[in-house]
Amino acid sequence: MFELAKQRLASVFKYIEVDEEVISRLSVAKRAIIASIPVRMDNGELKIFTGYRVQYDDTRGPTKGGIRYHPRVNLDEVTSLSFWMTVKCAVAGLPFGGAKGGVTVNPKELSKLELERLSRGYIRAFADVLGEARDIPAPDVYTNSTIMGWMADEYSTISRRQVPEMITGKPLHLGGSQGRESATGQGALYTLEEYAKRHQWNISQVTIAIQGFGNAGYHFARLASRMGFRVLAVSDSKGAIYSSSGLNVEDVYRFKQEEKKLASVYCDGSVCNMLDYEEISNEDLLALKVDVLVLGALENQVTQLNADKVQAVTILEIANGPVTPQADEILEARGIQVIPDVLANSGGVVVSYFEWVQNKSGFYWEAPEVREKLHNIMRRESNVVFDLANHHQCTLRTAAYIHGIERLAGAIDQRGNKKYFST
Ligand code: GLU
């Protein structure tokens, strides 16, 4: 996966000149750590989990990136995700490098107390390399604000001082920021809005299908339908639902909360009469004829095996790495534009940056201020990327990488390179 992720880097060097040392530096992670995390389970047994933290590059600032709990977490995946975080923070112009962490675990099988012990154990295992000026974690797949709160508390206990700025995505009452919860979805919507303006789309006629109904997918769906976009389909790990006349996202969310899966929204006695939705498969969802296919689940969802089935006009990546490089080529040949993850899902880390700033200053902003600042960054950086794509006649992904790599290269060069020292 990491080798594939790096192919995106290579595509940029056709368009811009970058010092060789920049390429060497950006081709490897600065530091990768694997630790075992022993957890006492509720039945008294001791279970050892494997935890990862990869700090990819810190030239532009302390490294930043989420911690994911998932059964398929491994070093290759975490390294790829940390590389994408590096590019993402540069694209958004944040003073951060990139990192990512994870634990190989199915968190749905743990009790709440086991989850707390695992989360505190993660911080104990990695405390030496984390910190507000070193490496700042945040939520990712299957981690949330509650877990960030436990982690902040554990770190403060170890450090014997309050350091809320060592982690972001915390609950509001523990130093979290207004708007962090919905930031990824909100940011992606701001990017889509700019894209829609450029293509002179009439929002009320734009149809959307969304893969993934987690933090990013749900908030995106909610905000997009509130704005007037027509959300026709959503999916989760257990299935998908579709309605040609559009879904009521809030109803879908409420029923999912009650039943823990979307299928129950589809048919559950009286609910069936209320919600006239059709149950479809995840593969059907990816192949729906809609204007925008939003990918908000996991990586490697659109691959060379199914890219020819996509019928959407545009793909919006709100997960990290949902389209593979081989699929990119097929989609490009078919004229399907991909608004890439490193731009489209950067709203999460942008508001994480705001949280870090607020924690450091001890002064907290109101929700409208957070939204306005997020909007400004997403509008500005999206338009830079769209302009670069026009200028170089390249894909939006390549344009986003050009933008990010130029900022990274600037920082790496200014620390000194061979040319600099030999003249
Ligand atoms: N996990 C999120 C991402 O992939 C957020 C990272 C952060 O806020 O540091 O962008």
pLDDT of residue 258: 79
CATH of the domain at 294: 3.40.50.720
Whether pLDDT at 227 is above 70: yes
Q: Tens digit of pLDDT for each residue in 53-104?
A: 999 999 999 999 999 999 999 999 999 999 999 999 999 999 999 999 999 9
| Residue 352 CB–ligand 1 contact under 6 Å | yes
Alpha-carbon gap, residue 111 to 131, rounded angstroms: 28
Q: Check: CB of residue 266 under 8 Å from CB of residue 235.
A: no
Residues 198 and 106 in one domain: no
Measure the CA–CA gap between 252 and 230, rounded to whole angstroms.
14
* Same domain as 56, residue 198: no
Residue 349 CB–ligand 1 contact under 6 Å: yes
- Supply the range of the domain harboring residue 233: 183-339
Q: Quick check: 49 and 114 in contact, CB under 8 A?
A: no
Q: Is residue 18 one of the residues assigned to a domain?
A: no
Does 168 contact ligand 1 (Cβ within 6 A)?
A: yes
Q: How confident is the model at residue 301 (pLDDT cuts 50, 70, 90)?
A: very high
Confidence band of 271 (pLDDT split at 50, 70, 90): very low
Give the residue, 399 or 423, on which the prediction is more confident.
399
Task: Burial-class residue 197 by CB neighbours within 10 Å (0-12, 13-18, 19+).
Answer: middle
- Predicted confidence at residue 265, as pLDDT, reads 57
CA of 78 to the centre of ligand 1 (A): 12
pLDDT score, position 36: 98
Among 290, 319, 339, identify where a domain stops.
Answer: 339
In a domain, 348, yes or no: no
- Shared domain for 167 and 194, answered yes or no, is no
Same domain (yes/no): 49, 161: yes
303 domain residue, yes or no:
yes
Residue 49 CA to residue 61 CA, distance in Å, equals: 30
Whose tokens are 């919860």? That residue is 181
pLDDT over threshold 80, residue 261: no
Residues 194 and 334 grouped into a single domain = yes
Same domain, yes or no: 99 and 231: no
Ligand 1: which atom is nearest the Cα of residue 140?
1
Q: Is residue 342 within 8 Å of residue 400, measured between CB atoms?
A: yes
Q: Please give the distance, rounded to the nearest whole angstrom, from the Cα atom of residue 91 to the centre of ligand 1.
A: 14
Which ligand 1 atom sits closest to the C-alpha of 81? 4
Residue type, 106: N
Q: What 3-state DSSP class applies to 101? A: strand
266: confidence class by pLDDT, cuts 50, 70, 90: low
- Cα 351 from Cα 368, distance rounded (Å): 13
Asked if residue 270 has pLDDT above 60, the reply is no
Give the residue, by CA position, lying nearest to ligand 1 atom 9: 65
pLDDT of residue 423: 66
Is the pTM here over 0.85, yes or no?
yes
Nearest to 65 by CA among 339, 352, 318, 319: 352
Cα–ligand 1 centroid distance for 131 (angstroms): 16
pLDDT at 262: 66
Mapped onto helix, strand or coil, the DSSP state of residue 237 is coil
- Nearest 10 degrees: Cα torsion 78, 83, 84, 85: 90
Distance 50 CA to ligand 1 centre (A): 21
| 268 lies in the same domain as 161 | no
Distance CA 154, CA 57 (A): 26
The answer to whether residues 35 and 165 belong to one domain is yes
Q: Would you state the pLDDT for residue 419?
A: 78
* Percent residues over pLDDT 70 in the chain: 96
The 3-state DSSP class for residue 236 equals strand
* Average pLDDT across the chain, whole number: 94
pLDDT at residue 197 above 70?
yes
pLDDT surpassing 90 at residue 304 = yes
In angstroms, what CA-CA distances link 239 with 221, 231, 344?
16, 16, 24
Q: Is residue 407 part of a domain?
A: no
* 375 within some domain: no
Is-catalytic flag, 100? yes
- Ligand 1 center to 334 CA (angstroms): 31
**Which residue's entry shows tokens 């989990």?**
49
Distance from the Cα of residue 156 to its chain's centroid: 26
Residues 6+ apart with CB under 8 A from 233: 209, 210, 240, 241, 242, 243, 247, 280, 285, 288, 290
* Residue % of the chain over a pLDDT of 90: 87
Residue with the bigger pLDDT between 255 and 93: it is 93
The region of weakest confidence among 117-121, 237-241, 269-273 is: 269-273
Give, in order, the Cα–Cα distances in Å from 116 to each of 129, 136, 149, 238, 348.
Answer: 21, 19, 10, 26, 23
Q: What is the pLDDT of residues 381-422, one digit of tens each?
A: 999 999 999 999 999 999 999 999 999 999 998 888 777 777
Taking only the tens place, the pLDDT of each residue in 121-135 is 999 999 999 999 999
Whether residue 376 is contained in a domain is answered as no
For residue 363, give the amino acid letter.
F
Beta bridge partners of residue 339, listed in sequence order? 316
User: Measured from the CA of 84, which atom of ligand 1 is nearest?
Assistant: 4
The pLDDT, as a whole number, for residue 263 is 59
Residue nearest to atom 8 of ligand 1 (CA): 349
Name the pLDDT band for 256 (thresholds 50, 70, 90). Answer: confident
Instruction: Specify whether 134 is located in the same domain as 195.
Output: no
Q: Which atom of ligand 1 is nearest to the CA of 139?
A: 1
**Ligand 1 and 65: CB distance under 6 A:** yes
CB 360, CB 165: distance < 8 Å: yes
CA 392 from chain center: how many Å?
A: 26
352 CA closest ligand 1 atom index: 8
Whole-number Å distance, alpha carbon 418 to ligand 1 midpoint, is 34
Q: Is 66 in the pocket of ligand 1 (CB under 6 A)?
A: yes
- Please write the tens of the pLDDT for every residue from 334-353: 999 999 999 999 999 999 99
320 CB less than 6 Å from ligand 1? Answer: yes
For ligand 1, whether the C-beta of 348 sits within 6 Å is yes
**Is residue 116 located within the same domain as residue 187?**
no
44: number of CA atoms within 13 Å, CB side? Answer: 0
Task: Tell whether 204 and 137 lie within a shared domain.
Answer: no
Give the distance (Å) from ligand 1 centre to CA of residue 105: 19
- Residue 61 lies inside a defined structural domain of this protein: yes
Is the distance from CB of 29 to CB of 59 less than 8 angstroms? no
Give the pLDDT confidence score for residue 260 in this predicted structure: 63
Orientation angle between helical segments 183-198 and 367-392, nearest 10 degrees: 40
Q: What is the pLDDT of residue 402?
A: 97
Report d(CA 139, CA 109) in Å as an integer: 19
Q: For residue 269, what pLDDT band results from cuts at 50, 70 and 90? A: very low
Residue 306 backbone dihedrals phi, psi, to 5 degrees:
-125, 0
Does some domain include residue 109? yes
Q: Which of 138, 171, 204 is the last residue of a domain?
A: 171
pLDDT value of residue 417? 79
Burial of 74 (0-12, 13-18, 19+ CB in 10 A): middle
For the chain, counts of helices (H) and of strands (E):
17, 13
Pick the catalytic residue: 64, 88, 100, 170? 100
Could you say which of 324, 339, 354 is where a domain stops? Answer: 339
Alpha-carbon distances, residue 67 vs 136, 158, 287 (angstroms): 10, 19, 31
**To test ligand 1's pocket by mutation, which of 69, 165, 177, 184 has the most ligand atoms within 8 angstroms of CB?**
184
